[in-house]
Amino acid sequence: MKVTNLTLVAALAFAGTAALAENWDMPMAYSATNFHSEMGVVFADRVGEYTGGAMTITVHPGGSLFKGGEIKRAVQTGQVNIGERFMSAHANEAPLLGWDNLPFVATTYADNEKLWGAAKESVNAQLADLNLVALYTCPWPGQGFYFNKEVKTSADTQGVKFRSYNTATATFAEGLGMVPVQVEAAELSQALATGVAEAFISSGSTGYDRKVWEHLSHYYKVNAWLPRNYVMVNKGAWDGLDATVQGQIQKAADETGADCAAKSAELANWYFEQLETNGMTVTDAGPEFLAELQTIGAKMQADWLAETGDAGQAILDAYNAN
């Protein structure tokens, strides 16, 4: 077969592009069927399309590559270049990152988006100090309480082993006389089955994903906050990318973040319907219980402001001004 100069040049150009292509693994903590993981796949597909193959991302859901609690460190240290985690999981290290766990401050999707707008600049600066860059964020539905019995007041929650996923949830547990136990979402079903945990706070999504009706009977809608997951990149790896590729990846991220938020809002009530269909009692928290939660929430907000100082106050001021 005769190879023309033009053919040879094209072959060499293709080989050069392939050699320069970036291949990143992306660990995610939640199951493959969770909407956050599904949107992670959408993001990865868009990145491959928009970069013309200059960047490929392989998604590893369900804590299969790194467990949820290991993902941030893996990205920070360059074990992987990209990953996803809920932002407030890192509030013990950097309290500002608990901006989305302020109880009863922003309890709708619109208000949560407004709060993110107020927090975004400060949060991004904090993440840069941690060698991270946030590509997109996506809210969970509002947080409520799962129990295996009827709960009217904190008198019913004393001594209950409560699965916590961050500082805020542990604080809620302690305020209600419960015992916080750190359990990752991927391990929740086992924890409930073995009695390691007996209750938890989360959205309807986690309850549906983990089929908690096999172990628990009641869900109380509280809508305390809408926590956010975020897709993070190692800052050194990000800074090392060509500006054009950065722009293409950010385009994919912006579109996916918007689509993920819309999907979350679309699914919020559907999850409640699924819990009820599978035998759970789904109801609003009673007035006495809600009043106790709001008292705890006010203290949590005051504690957060004490930890974050002027930076935290600036976020709330900007949120309340709009």
C-alpha 72/C-alpha 132 separation (Å) is 9
Q: Are residues 100 and 236 in the same domain?
A: yes
Q: Are residues 239 and 152 in the same domain?
A: no
Q: Are residues 277 and 216 in the same domain?
A: yes
Q: Are residues 104 and 149 in the same domain?
A: no
The total domain count for the chain is: 2
DSSP 8-state symbol, 165: S
DSSP 8-state symbol, 30: S
Q: What predicted TM-score, i.e. pTM, was given to this entire model?
A: 0.89
Asked if 81 and 233 touch (Cβ cutoff 8 Å), the reply is: yes
User: Structural domain of residue 49, as residue ranges?
Assistant: 5-140+227-269
Q: Are residues 263 and 305 in the same domain?
A: no
Reduced to 3 states, what is the DSSP secondary structure of residue 132?
strand
Q: Are residues 204 and 304 in the same domain?
A: yes
Q: Are residues 63 and 118 in the same domain?
A: yes
pLDDT digits (tens, 9 = 90+) for 240-253: 999 999 999 999 99
Asked if 84 and 27 touch (Cβ cutoff 8 Å), the reply is: yes
Q: Are residues 12 and 121 in the same domain?
A: yes
Average pLDDT over residues 246-275: 98
Asked if 224 and 192 touch (Cβ cutoff 8 Å), the reply is: no
Q: Using the predicted structure, report yes or no on whether residue 108 has a pLDDT greater than 90.
A: yes
Of 10-14, 101-105, 240-244, 308-312, the poorest mean pLDDT is in: 10-14
Q: Are residues 293 and 231 in the same domain?
A: no
C-alpha 254/C-alpha 1 separation (Å) is 47
Cα-Cα-Cα-Cα dihedral of 133, 139, 142, 148, to 10°? Answer: -70
Q: Are residues 19 and 87 in the same domain?
A: yes
CATH code, domain with 176: 3.40.190.170
Average pLDDT over residues 31-44: 97
Helices (H), the chain: 5-20, 35-50, 68-76, 109-129, 167-175, 188-194, 204-209, 235-239, 243-277, 287-321
Q: Are residues 263 and 115 in the same domain?
A: yes
Band the pLDDT of 20: cuts 50, 70, 90. Answer: low
C-alpha 277/C-alpha 279 separation (Å) is 6
Band the pLDDT of 14: cuts 50, 70, 90. Answer: very low
Q: Are residues 282 and 293 in the same domain?
A: yes
Average pLDDT over residues 291-307: 95
C-alpha 7/C-alpha 241 separation (Å) is 29
pLDDT at 17: 41
Q: In whole angstroms, how far apart are CA 218 and each of 94, 275, 276? A: 34, 9, 9
- Of residues 20 and 221, more confidence is placed in 221
